[in-house]
């Protein structure tokens, strides 16, 4: 309850605490989603009009390919953050899955199809280790996954050392960057969309999804309503690991290079995108649509600024500022609303 | 808890089944039966016209391994001087951290912007290949400098010196400084850096020569071209190997960080340090006696030559074939060697007598 009160304490002064507060929150979430989608539309329009070479099919293809890893990992991350946990080891899991894929291809003689399946399973195992520490031993996920962030990254350098594996078959490496015939949309966007729909349905249209919000708001209350908090969270970490396995495969094939430092630093971009998408870092709040818009907003902004020859350091500053804005703004809006509400109530009482 | 276990078992079983099914269903691509694409063949196409003038207004972009690296700042400025000389348009872009994937997105951007020449230093010889080939298909000429890609992904590689030249120079410098015997270590950049690994391999070969038989290379440490990490790695080396006599750090970031650590420690002057560094960064350590001598080619000349090579390609003076000749402004004439490699020349050794003549 402690974290929740950071947000909603002012509204508890209302006459009917439960109903009014929920409606307020829902309104706020809805509005933030709308803000992000609107921001995305504005940025795309402005970029198309002012940035040369932005509005072209080829650029869209580059942009979407660059966004794939971020978009894929953001899906399970959204669910995890909604339950009030976090997984910071994602980029390291991608790196480790990538080097494992390279090592298996280099020395095992297995078929690439089987290796891909194994890599996703290995990713799931890595995620299960996170899940076990968090739910089995009840440790904070922030601490656990900072630990595995370093651990998995270290292991990925153990697996391949200083070499890189690059001799993947050309038809495989070409397949991941190929566009859908007749368009400039990469084919890999299709599985991404399918996954996004699955995650969206699970989160917003099932009992399990509602349970995730309940956990984020109050673990204990969720437990009392019959939700197995530990089990659900455990599987979320497993899913996160498996998705990282997928991203590891994509990354390796797209860059035709399996190496220990693949995807370094990606975890922070993922968290930025998720928070920008309106998911509360304290859990219990957020929607998948907002996150998808957040991912796109981040990608479009980076791409457009790069095309406009904005310095890389300035790009990093933009990303950082967006992250802070995405955390501060919803808070500030909630605060202002609560104050307005109280003033109106006081007026009502006085008159 | 039993429900928890059941869930685990069901999950694991279904995943394993899926794996088996998938593998049974497909014949499978294995390492042995996959046909490796030999690449687009040699890129040298069309005839070179050595008398062609350098076109005016060529758009030339420099994409270093990362921005904020003084070495690349200097070489990119050398490139800028050259581009100004032949009246082209120069620009420098790059990621803020040295990663191959971020270079790919910059290469895509540059090819989208319709650059005539992309001059880059590769963070990974393979990872940026696809993007470079796309840029080439879109009409850009590709020149690599400092760190190469696979030869089929670029037209020209401007190599600072031969790798043998560096290995020879570095081993000779450290041997002179430690008196020809004792334990030495290498402090490198990232574990994947193409050039670093080539040099280290050749240094190991060089050390097998009889005149170096009393020198023992104990380890190679990686400072990731990060100042703080290199500093800590130096500290770690001295703690792990108390008999260490010398360190070779063939990277500008590493050698400066190692110099800073040594100059403030009890090992100053006792443990010798050499490597590849810039005079401006190393000046104080040479003057305070921490470092006797170190080496480097001129990074400005390297960028200058790379820009001229790109302009010669884009103007049709050369195609990147072996034997092609072109003029590079103040540096004179260069000949393209095997695999499209152009070599700048031997490294310069800096010591307390000559260091003040160099400002970069």
In a domain? residue B23: no
Same domain, B283 and B174: yes
In a domain? residue B13: no
Q: Do A114 and B23 touch (CB under 8 A)?
A: yes
Q: Is the ipTM above a cut-off of 0.95? A: no
Same domain, B278 and B334: no
Handedness of CA B88, B94, B99, B104 (dihedral sign): negative
Q: Which of A21-30, A133-142, A233-242, A256-265 has the lowest mean pLDDT?
A: A21-30
Q: How far is CA A69 from the centre of its chain?
A: 10
Greatest pairwise CA separation for chain A in angstroms: 82
User: If you average pLDDT over every residue of chain A, what do you get?
Assistant: 87
Pick among A108, A113, A253 to test the B interface (most B CBs inside 10 A): A113
- Cβ contacts (< 8 Å) between A256 and chain B: which residues? 126-127, 129-130
In a domain? residue B46: no
Cα angle: B232, vertex B67, A294; to 5 degrees:
100
What does the pLDDT look like over A201-218, one tens digit per residue?
999 999 889 999 999 998
Same domain, B218 and B334: no
Same domain, B270 and B311: no
Q: Are strands B348-351 and B293-296 parallel, antiparallel or unpaired?
A: antiparallel
Same domain, B196 and B277: yes
Predicted pLDDT of residue A351: 61
CA end-to-end distance (rounded Å), chain B: 66
- Return the number of CB contacts < 8 Å for A and B: 143
Same domain, B143 and B265: no
Same domain, B225 and B290: yes
Q: What are the C-alpha distances in Å from A30 to residues A37, A273, A330, B146, B149? A: 11, 17, 11, 52, 49
Predicted pLDDT of residue B29: 78
In a domain? residue B331: yes
In a domain? residue B51: no
Question: Of A340 and A193, which is predicted with more confidence?
Answer: A193
DSSP A188-238: THHHHHHHHHHHHHHHHHSHHHHHHHHHHH-HHHHHHTT--HHHHHHHHHH
Nearest chain A Cα distance for residue B34, angstroms: 6
- Cβ contacts (< 8 Å) between A263 and chain B: which residues? 101
Same domain, B189 and B305: no
pLDDT band, very low/low/confident/very high, at A2 (cuts 50, 70, 90): very low
What distance in Å separates the CA atoms of residue A333 and residue B140, rounded to the nearest whole number? 49
Query: What percent of chain B lies above the pLDDT cut of 90?
Result: 66
Q: What is the number of other CB atoms lying within 10 angstroms of the CB of residue B27?
A: 10
Angle between helix A112-131 and helix B2-25 axes, rounded to 10 deg: 170
- Cβ contacts (< 8 Å) between A236 and chain B: which residues? none
Residue B311 has pLDDT above 50, yes or no: yes
State the residue for tokens 């400039």. A184
What does the pLDDT look like over B213-270, one tens digit per residue?
999 999 999 999 899 999 999 999 999 999 999 999 999 999 999 999 999 999 998 9
Task: Give domain limits for chain A.
Answer: 32-43+54-335
Predicted pLDDT of residue B193: 81
CA atoms within 13 A on the CB side of A300: 22
Could you give the number of structural domains in chain B? Answer: 2
Q: Under a CB-based contact definition with an 8 Å cutoff, are residues B36 and A169 in contact? A: yes
Q: Are strands B89-92 and B59-63 parallel, antiparallel or unpaired?
A: parallel
What distance in Å separates the CA atoms of residue B232 and residue B248, rounded to the nearest whole number? 15
3-state helix, strand, coil in chain B (%, to 5): 45, 20, 40
What does the pLDDT look like over A123-155, one tens digit per residue?
999 999 999 999 999 899 999 999 999 999 999
Check if CATH label 1.10.3470 holds for domain A32-43+54-335: yes
Q: Under a CB-based contact definition with an 8 Å cutoff, are residues A9 and A270 in contact? A: no
Predicted pLDDT of residue B3: 53
Query: What percent of chain A lies above the pLDDT cut of 90?
Result: 56
Pick among B124, B138, B196, B199 to test the A interface (most A CBs inside 10 A): B124
Predicted pLDDT of residue A96: 97
pLDDT band, very low/low/confident/very high, at A244 (cuts 50, 70, 90): very high
In a domain? residue B350: no
The shortest CB-CB distance from A121 to any of B19, B97, B106 is to: B19
Nearest chain A Cα distance for residue B183, angstroms: 23
Q: Do B4 and A234 touch (CB under 8 A)?
A: yes
Q: What is the dihedral of CA B111, A164, B306, B202, to 10 degrees?
A: -170
Nearest chain B Cα distance for residue A118, angstroms: 7
Predicted pLDDT of residue A91: 96
Q: Under a CB-based contact definition with an 8 Å cutoff, are residues A289 and A33 in contact? A: yes
Closest residue in chain A to residue B35, using alpha carbons only: A169
What does the pLDDT look like over A48-96, one tens digit per residue?
999 988 989 889 999 999 999 999 999 999 999 999 999 999 999 999 9
Predicted pLDDT of residue B41: 41
Pick among A120, A136, A169, A313 to test the B interface (most B CBs inside 10 A): A169
Pick among B101, B103, B153 to test the A interface (most A CBs inside 10 A): B101
Nearest chain B Cα distance for residue A288, angstroms: 25
Question: Of B43 and A226, which is predicted with more confidence?
Answer: A226
The shortest CB-CB distance from B28 to any of A111, A265, A316 is to: A111
What distance in Å separates the CA atoms of residue A239 and residue A87, rounded to the nearest whole number? 11
Note if the pTM is more than 0.90.
no
The shortest CB-CB distance from B126 to any of A52, A164, A309 is to: A164
Domain that holds residue B286: 163-296
In a domain? residue B130: yes
What does the pLDDT look like over B145-193, one tens digit per residue?
998 999 999 999 999 888 888 999 999 999 999 999 999 999 999 887 8
Helix (H) / strand (E) element for A138: namely none
- Cβ contacts (< 8 Å) between A306 and chain B: which residues? 93, 105-106, 109
Q: Do B96 and A316 touch (CB under 8 A)?
A: yes
Same domain, B266 and B174: yes
pLDDT band, very low/low/confident/very high, at A14 (cuts 50, 70, 90): very low
In a domain? residue B181: yes
Question: Of B98 and B1, which is predicted with more confidence?
Answer: B98
- Cβ contacts (< 8 Å) between B190 and chain A: which residues? 261
Lay out the sheet containing B272-275: strands in order across.
B215-222, B182-188, B244-249, B272-275
The shortest CB-CB distance from A118 to any of B19, B26, B29 is to: B19
Helix (H) / strand (E) element for B119: namely strand B117-120
Q: Which of A181-190, A309-318, B26-35 has the lowest mean pLDDT?
A: B26-35
pLDDT band, very low/low/confident/very high, at B298 (cuts 50, 70, 90): confident
Structure tokens at A162: 């200083």
Nearest chain A Cα distance for residue B23, angstroms: 6
pLDDT band, very low/low/confident/very high, at B10 (cuts 50, 70, 90): low
Residue A13 has pLDDT above 50, yes or no: no
Predicted pLDDT of residue A313: 83
Predicted pLDDT of residue B35: 52
What does the pLDDT look like over A305-347, one tens digit per residue?
999 988 888 888 887 888 888 778 877 877 787 888 888 887 7
Nearest chain A Cα distance for residue B334, angstroms: 32
Nearest chain A Cα distance for residue B25, angstroms: 10
Instruction: State mean pLDDT over A13-24.
Output: 45
What does the pLDDT look like over A106-125, one tens digit per residue?
998 899 999 999 999 999 99
The CATH code of the domain that includes B256 is: 3.40.50.2300
Predicted pLDDT of residue B13: 59
């Amino acid at each position: 309850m402690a974290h929740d009160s950071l947000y909603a304490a002012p509204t508890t002064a209302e006459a009917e605490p439960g109903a009014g507060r929920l409606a307020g929150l829902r309104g706020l979430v809805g509005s933030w989603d709308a803000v992000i989608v609107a921001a995305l539309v504005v940025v795309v329009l402005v970029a198309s009009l002012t940035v040369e070479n932005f509005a072209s099919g080829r650029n869209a293809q580059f942009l979407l390919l660059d966004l794939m890893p971020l978009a894929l990992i953001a899906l399970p991350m959204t669910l995890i953050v909604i339950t009030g946990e976090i997984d910071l080891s994602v980029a390291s899991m991608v790196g480790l899955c990538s080097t494992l894929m390279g090592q298996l291809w280099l020395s095992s003689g297995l078929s690439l199809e089987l290796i891909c399946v194994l890599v996703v399973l290995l990713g799931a195992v890595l995620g299960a280790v996170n899940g076990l520490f968090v739910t089995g031993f009840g440790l904070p996920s922030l601490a656990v996954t900072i630990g595995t962030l370093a651990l998995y990254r270290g292991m990925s350098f153990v697996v391949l050392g200083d070499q890189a594996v690059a001799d993947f078959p050309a038809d495989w490496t070409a397949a991941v960057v190929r566009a859908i015939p007749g368009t400039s949309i990469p084919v890999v966007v299709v599985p991404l969309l399918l996954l996004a729909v699955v995650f969206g349905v699970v989160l917003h249209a099932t009992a399990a999804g509602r349970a995730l919000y309940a956990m984020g708001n109050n673990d204990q209350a969720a437990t009392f309503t019959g939700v197995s908090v530990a089990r659900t969270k455990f599987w979320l970490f497993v899913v996160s690991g498996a998705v990282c396995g997928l991203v590891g495969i994509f990354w390796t094939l797209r860059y035709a290079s399996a190496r220990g430092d693949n995807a370094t630093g990606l975890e922070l971009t993922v968290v930025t995108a998720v928070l920008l998408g309106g998911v509360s870092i304290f859990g219990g709040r957020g929607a998948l649509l907002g996150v998808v818009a957040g991912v796109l907003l981040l990608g479009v902004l980076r791409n457009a600024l790069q095309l406009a020859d904005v310095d890389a350091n300035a790009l990093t500053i933009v990303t950082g500022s967006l992250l802070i804005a995405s955390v501060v703004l919803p808070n500030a809006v909630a605060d202002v609303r609560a104050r307005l509400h109280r003033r109106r109530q006081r007026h009502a009482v006085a008159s | 808890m039993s429900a928890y276990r059941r869930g685990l078992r069901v999950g694991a079983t279904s995943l394993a089944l899926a794996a088996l099914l998938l593998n049974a269903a497909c014949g499978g691509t294995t390492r042995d039966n996959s046909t490796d694409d030999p690449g687009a063949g040699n890129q040298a196409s069309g005839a070179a016209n050595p008398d062609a003038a350098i076109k005016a207004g060529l758009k030339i972009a420099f994409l270093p391994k990362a921005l904020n690296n003084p070495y690349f700042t200097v070489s990119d400025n050398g490139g800028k001087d050259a581009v100004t000389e032949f009246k082209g348009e120069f620009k420098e872009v790059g990621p803020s951290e040295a990663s191959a994937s971020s270079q790919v997105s910059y290469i895509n951007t540059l090819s989208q912007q319709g650059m005539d020449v992309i001059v880059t230093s590769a963070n990974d010889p393979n990872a940026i290949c696809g993007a470079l080939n796309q840029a080439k298909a879109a009409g850009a000429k590709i020149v690599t400098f400092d760190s190469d890609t696979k030869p089929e992904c670029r037209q020209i590689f401007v190599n600072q010196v031969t790798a043998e030249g560096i290995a020879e120079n570095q081993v000779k410098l450290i041997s002179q400084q430690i008196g020809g015997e004792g334990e030495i270590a290498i402090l490198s950049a990232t574990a994947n850096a193409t050039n670093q690994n080539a040099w280290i391999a050749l240094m190991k070969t060089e050390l097998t020569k009889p005149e170096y038989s009393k020198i023992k290379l104990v380890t190679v440490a990686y400072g990731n071209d990060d100042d703080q990490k290199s500093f800590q790695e130096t500290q770690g080396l001295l703690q792990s190997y108390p008999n260490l006599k010398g360190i070779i750090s063939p990277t500008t970031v590493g050698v400066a960080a190692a110099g800073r650590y040594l100059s403030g420690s009890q090992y100053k002057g006792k443990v010798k340090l050499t490597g590849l560094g810039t005079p401006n960064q190393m000046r104080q350590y040479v003057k305070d006696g921490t470092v006797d001598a170190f080496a480097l080619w001129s990074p400005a000349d390297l960028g200058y030559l790379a820009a001229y090579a790109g302009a010669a390609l884009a103007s049709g003076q050369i195609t990147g074939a072996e034997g092609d000749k072109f003029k590079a402004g103040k540096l004179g004439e260069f000949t393209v060697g095997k695999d499209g490699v152009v070599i700048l020349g031997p490294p310069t050794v800096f010591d307390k007598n000559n260091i003040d003549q160099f400002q970069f």
